[in-house]
Structure 1
Amino acid sequence: MQTTPNLSAPRQVSIALGERSYPILIGAGLLGDAASYAAAPKGSDALIVSNQTVAPLYAAQLAQALAGRHRQVHQLALPDGEQHKDWATLNLIFDALLTHGADRKTVLYALGGGVVGDMTGFAAACYMRGVPFVQVPTTLLAQVDSSVGGKTAINHPLGKNMIGAFYQPRAVVCDLDVLGTLPPRELSAGLAEVIKYGPIADMAFFDWIEAHVDALRALDADALAHAVQRSCEIKAAVVAQDEREAGLRAILNFGHTFGHAIEAGMGYGAWLHGEGVAAGMVMAAELSRELGLVDAAFVQRLTRLIQRAGLPVRGAVIDAQDNAGRYLQLMRVDKKAEAGEIRFVLIDGPGRASVRAAPDALVRRVIDRCCQ
């Protein structure tokens, strides 16, 4: 079983992408430390992009840390919530950049959760065909997943994250102290993305999560540091091999095909992303069992851990008339689908995953059994 390392100096995980490599810093007190942003270009202007919930808590602290690096530091607070991850909100970032006369050396800082990070990264990819940006994630979900790897996007009413770009940040700064202001529901949503790394890549880490899930929910500093570090290490290794999701990187979407259908079907914001992923992992594990890839004991073990993390293990009913049919319809626009065939991340055995198709009839049976 893995042991929890002692929390002392900041930890660093590197994303190895040649000249586009960058550090992920993990530790306490990083957000307000100017040294945390050494990887970002200095001298030009900066724009801190946050939301109306996070900005009052942390934007001034970040601006003060950046004051010595940039000529001017501007701030923008977007409306909060997944339902605002759209073209209209994205344009608010472009409006701010143009209003302040931002040039190609302007640095964007994404201060917030996955929605802020995805939209800021997409704006950085598009503005003047590319300006530098830094991820400063303030949720557990963003620290262990969405801020790492360069996926940026907005949602479309017909599909989540369907409009975006691969665009890497210059650095990711994970300050563990900011997790203390997370509502319990948001913290649990982040644990879903931590849990996923065990079944797809590292069952020793899964063992560790089982032993420390209560400590994680209690915001134990040492436990959080290890969870964020190990999650980032696994994701960094996968991204280094397959940056643009031509193959291997798709395994990071374990539970997401079902989960994204729940989010889109219920209306963005009704379920948190991590909640959809949690129920989606149970459904994907059940589908793996139906295909003879894992046994019932594995599914039960995963389900118990997800429940202990305070997450849903039953999918949502998104259509009272034909629930499974609506799921199938939404999943056909998943980014892993090919020629209209839905492809799922399934567990080949504990710690191993692959992307496979499955008969619609079998998928329907799993959805009917797993939805509340």
Structure 2
Amino acid sequence: MNLTPREVAVAGDVPYSIHVGPGLLDDGALLARSVRGRDAMLVSDAHVAPLYADRVAAALQAARPDLRIHRHVLPPGEASKTLASFADVTDALADARMRRDATLFALGGGVIGDLAGFAAACWMRGIDCVQLPTTLLAMVDSSVGGKTAVDLPQGKNLVGAFHPPRAVIADTAALRTLPARELRAGLAEVVKYGALGDAAFLDWIDANADALLAMDDAALAEAIARSCAHKAAIVARDPFEHGERALLNLGHTFGHAIETEQGYGGLNHGEAVAVGMVLAARLSEALGLAPAADTRRLRDLLVRLQLPVDVPPGLDPERLLAHMRLDKKATAGGLRFIVWRGAGRAEVVGDVPESAVLSVLREA
């Protein structure tokens, strides 16, 4: 079994590397490589900090004895991804007298990565941020690409900034402490990469589904590295989501609407994306773009990965549609969706009739 750490390069105006492998949170030299000044702050949550914060701080201190390391710990969960929590982080940066050459380490899942990344983007108009994702979902998606944001009651990720990280360090050993539900949520984002642009990767996921669910180290490392490579290539070509990068939102328009309507207290993000991808495939069928057989195959794979594929009961289609009108991909001309013409062939379609969307939601 090859567990040698892998490195995926992200090109573009602000190039950086994604490091994937076991034991990387204890690699002080790697962690310190991105620190330019003498101050660092670890931002984490109350679930993750007790597991890893001391280890990361010790590794950093051993590599850089002169480094001043500060910490800020937030309550866990999507409910913390707010402007109030953003203000708490910036207050902590101010209290620690963090300067322009300081480095913020985002230690946790997607909520911490998005929130801490946004704080780094805004503090003194931008300081370095190193993403230390501890969930599969964050490793393959939110930690890569520099999209940072917080939620509003009206919708997800409505306030944010593009702020590429200085590095992404994904320690696959951290997944051993991940609840099974969170692992499955991350697998939804892995499936997304195959669905949107790589049918062969979708075949690989299908063939390795049992190994992925069993948290086989080699299978997970392969899934993470391939997912990151897909995202890195797209981000390099379209860093500010003016075109192709929107494909990475396959399933997210439906998924974000479900999360918002549930008050971020029902399906988690990956689960909502799984449902959203099935709805996007059904919408593709309704628009005459894709065959029903590909929808069935996608649905069967997600079911095999123990992910939900149906809209939770009790959600009003009209209210879900209202949330979609505020989605970041919507334009003055109407709703835009990421649809597909079959496995591995996603595209952006504008001016989608609301009647078609409502029909898909009602059938679901």
**TM-score of the aligned structures, taking structure 1 as reference length:** 0.95
- 1:95-130 CA-to-partner distances (Å, cap 9, x unmatched) read 211111111111100000000000010000000111
Counterpart pick for 1:338 among 325, 331, 344: 331
1:15 counterpart (10, 13, 35):
10
Match of 2:204 in 1: 208
Distance 1:39 1:260 in 2: 36
User: Aligned partners of 2:152, 2:174: CA distance in 1, in Å?
Assistant: 30
Gaps of 5+ in 1: 1-5
How big is the shift at 1:45? Answer: 0.8
Match of 1:282 in 2: 278
Query: Would the aligned equivalents of 1:332 and 1:340 in 2 still touch at CA under 8 Å?
Result: no
User: Is 1:324 aligned to residue 314 of structure 2?
Assistant: no
Counterparts of 2:37 and 2:194 in 1: how far apart (Å)?
42
TM-superposed CA distance for 1:340, in Å, is 5.7
* Cα shift readout 1:209-235 (whole Å, capped 9, x = no counterpart): 001111111110000000000000000
Alignment partner of 1:122: what SS? helix
Aligned length in residues: 361
Q: 1:318 to 1:240 in 2, by over 3 A?
A: farther
Shift of 1:329: 0.5
Q: Structure 1 CA distance, aligned partners of 2:308 and 2:33?
A: 39
Percent of aligned positions with the same letter in both sequences?
Answer: 53
Deviations 1:261-294 (A, max 9, x none): 0000011132200011000000000001111221
Say whether residues 1:83 and 2:76 are aligned partners: no
Is residue 282–residue 360 contact of structure 2 (8 Å, CA) maintained in 1? yes
Confirm or deny that 1:265 pairs with 2:261.
yes
For residues 327 and 150 of structure 1, the distance between their equivalents in structure 2, rounded to whole angstroms, comes to 28
Residue number in structure 1 paired with 2:126: 130
On the 8 A contact 1:318/1:326 being kept in 2, the answer is no
The residue that corresponds to 1:302 in the other structure is 298
SS for the counterpart of 2:25 is: coil
1:180-211 Cα deviation digits (max 9, x unpaired): 00001100100000000111110110000001
Q: Which of 21, 27, 31 matches 1:27? A: 21
User: Which amino acid is the alignment partner of residue 49 of structure 2?
Assistant: A
Q: Which amino acid aligns with 1:279?
A: V
1:82 Cα offset (Å):
0.2
Find runs of 4+ consecutive structure 1 residues off by over 6 angstroms. none
Mapped partners of 2:151, 2:314: distance in 1 = 18
Matched, 1:159 2:155: yes
Task: Please report how far the alpha carbon of residue 7 of structure 1 lies from its aligned counterpart in structure 2 after TM superposition.
Answer: 2.4
| Structure 2 letter corresponding to 1:364 | L
The structural deviation recorded for 1:363 is 1.0
1:182-197, aligned counterparts within 5 Å? 182-197=178-193
Structure 2 Cα separation of the partners of residues 50 and 318 of structure 1: 34
Matched residue SS, 1:31:
helix
Tell me how far apart the structure 2 counterparts of residues 340 and 96 of structure 1 sit (CA, whole Å). 42
d(CA) in 2 for partners of 1:165, 1:258: 22
Contact 2:284/2:290 (CA < 8 Å) preserved in 1?
A: yes
Distance across 2 between alignment mates of 1:311 and 1:350: 18
Unaligned runs of 5+ in 2: none
Shift of 1:308: 1.1
- Asked if 1 retains the 8 angstrom alpha-carbon contact of 2:3 and 2:217, the reply is no
Q: 2-side partners of 1:221 and 1:249: how far apart?
A: 29
Alignment of 1:181-260 (within 5 A): 181-260=177-256
Q: Counterpart of 1:37?
A: 31
Q: CA RMSD in A?
A: 1.1
Q: Structure 2 CA distance, aligned partners of 1:364 and 1:241? A: 33
- TM-score, length-normalised on structure 2? 0.97
- Note closer, same or farther for the CA distance 1:169–1:153 as it changes in structure 2 (3 Å cut): same
**1:140 corresponds to which residue?**
136
Distance 1:241 1:181 in 2: 35
Match of 2:47 among 35, 48, 53: 53
Letter in 2 for 1:128: M
How far apart are residue 17 of structure 1 and its match?
Answer: 1.3
SS at match of 1:305: helix
Question: C-alpha distance in 2, partners of 1:203/1:76?
Answer: 42
2:17 is paired with a residue whose SS is: strand
The SS at the match of 2:209 is helix
Say whether 1:348 aligns with 2:341. Answer: yes
Q: How far apart are residue 245 of structure 1 and its match?
A: 0.3
